[in-house]
């Protein structure tokens, strides 16, 4: 684990959708699927991103364009230099590969991409609001897609599609990442069906390695104790699906 950023050159950039780009770096980083890195743009900020790609000595992060930081990242070109430190946190525990399913919502699919790469046989559900937001179409060709507006695949959310899938499939493991509202529903559904579930939580992070307390979730620091939590752990996290902490430090209720 590195606590100083390593300055790395952007080796290549791929457009995954109109709003998402994957940035590749020549860096052979040892990591577990679900772990993240802190990305630094000097004189701007530092933000967390999951490692979404690792093949031979090329690692990648997939970035959804949202605000100041991700806009600045999207404006970068091949050959530009940024800082990266990590990997951080606890990733997915990939014990059971048979009858497993990953359930991704929006950019949460980035966190699950290397779970799929390292699993021999896993069902992949990707949910998006609309067809143009779907990512990794070429990378994972057998994906089960769903969109809220019905423009690609099943019409509905990834929770709805998982519920449909459970009518015909016996799953024994679900890995999920996406908006907390969706994660909570996936977790509840799995609990009702007796399926073991691992959830990657997305909390506002500052230091990324356990010092500032910004990412607290019921006494657990999501950056070091997570971001991936198991069913056993989630059962003890009162704040999961209920409250989160804004960047100002204010604790607010989540609307499920
Ligand atoms: C463990 C982890 C892994 C992540 N992996 C990815 C990824 O692979 N791809 C991706 O596109 N995004 C990922 N994110 C979210 C990413 O960090 C934010 O999208 C990014 O920081 C937005 O910054 P911004 O300035 O562009 O937008 P802002 O306008 O500042 O914020 C837009 C949204 O991003 C969230 N966000 C902003 N800053 C942070 C922060 N420091 N920590 C967490 N969330 C923040 C805000 O809560 C807000 O909802 C991850 C977040 C976490 C916690
Ligand atoms: S982000 Fe600082 S403790 Fe987690």
Query: Smallest Cα–Cα separation from 55: which of 36, 23, 22, 28?
Result: 28
Are 116 and 213 in the same domain?
yes
Per-residue pLDDT tens over the stretch 49-101: 999 999 989 999 999 999 999 999 999 999 999 999 999 999 999 875 679 99
Does any ligand 2 atom lie closer than 6 A to the CB of residue 19?
no
CA atoms of 177 and 251, how far apart (whole Å): 22
Q: Ligand 2: distance of its center to the CA of 241 in Å?
A: 19
Residue 214 lies in domain: 100-253
Is 206 among the domain residues?
Answer: yes
Sign for the pseudo-dihedral over CA of 160, 161, 167, 169: negative
Classify residue 156: in a domain, yes or no.
Answer: yes
Q: What angle do CA 45, 48, 49 make, to 5 degrees?
A: 125
Is the overall model pTM greater than 0.85, yes or no? Answer: yes
Distance 166 CA to ligand 1 centre (A): 31
* Domain shared by 72 and 120, yes or no: no
Question: Do 144 and 236 reside in the same domain of the chain?
Answer: yes
Q: Which of 43, 48, 222 to mutate to test the pocket of ligand 1 (most atoms within 8 A of CB)?
A: 48
Among 250, 228, 17, smallest CA distance to 135 is for 17
Based on the fold, state whether residues 78 and 25 are members of the same structural domain. Answer: yes
Residue 206 alpha carbon, nearest atom of ligand 2? 1
130 within 8 A of 150, measured Cβ to Cβ: no
Pick the closest to residue 22 from 68, 54, 56 (CA basis). Answer: 54
Say whether the peptide bond before residue 227 is cis (omega within 30 degrees of 0): yes
Mark whether 44 and 104 lie in a shared domain: no
pLDDT at 113 over 60: yes
Q: What is the pLDDT of residue 1?
A: 53
How confident is residue 170, by pLDDT bands cut at 50, 70 and 90?
very high
For the domain that residue 125 is a member of, what is the CATH number? 3.40.50.80
Are 82 and 106 contained in the same domain? Answer: no
Do 30 and 114 lie in one domain? The reply is no
């Amino acid at each position: 684990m590195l606590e100083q950023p390593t300055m790395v050159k952007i080796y290549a950039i791929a457009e995954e959708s109109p709003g998402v780009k994957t940035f590749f770096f020549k860096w052979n980083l040892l990591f577990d699927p679900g772990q993240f890195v802190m990305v630094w743009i000097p004189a701007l900020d530092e933000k967390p991103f999951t490692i979404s790609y690792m093949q031979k000595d090329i690692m990648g992060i997939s970035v959804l364009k949202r605000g100041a930081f991700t806009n600045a990242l999207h404006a970068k070109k091949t050959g530009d230099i940024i800082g990266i430190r990590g990997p951080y946190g606890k990733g997915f525990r990939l014990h059971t590969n048979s009858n497993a399913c990953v359930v991704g919502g929006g950019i949460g699919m980035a966190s699950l991409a290397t779970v799929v790469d390292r699993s021999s046989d896993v069902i992949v559900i990707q949910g998006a609001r609309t067809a143009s937001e779907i990512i990794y179409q070429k990378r994972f060709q057998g994906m089960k897609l769903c969109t809220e507006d019905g423009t690609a695949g099943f019409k509905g959310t990834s929770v709805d599609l998982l519920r449909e899938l459970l009518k015909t499939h016996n799953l024994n493991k679900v890995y999920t990442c996406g908006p907390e509202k969706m994660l909570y529903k996936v977790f509840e559904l799995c609990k009702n069906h007796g399926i073991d579930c691992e959830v990657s939580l997305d909390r506002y992070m500052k230091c990324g390695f356990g010092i500032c307390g910004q990412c607290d979730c019921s006494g657990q620091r999501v950056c070091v104790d997570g971001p991936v939590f198991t069913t056993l752990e989630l059962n003890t996290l009162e704040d999961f699906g209920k409250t989160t902490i804004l960047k100002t430090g204010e604790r607010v209720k989540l609307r499920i």
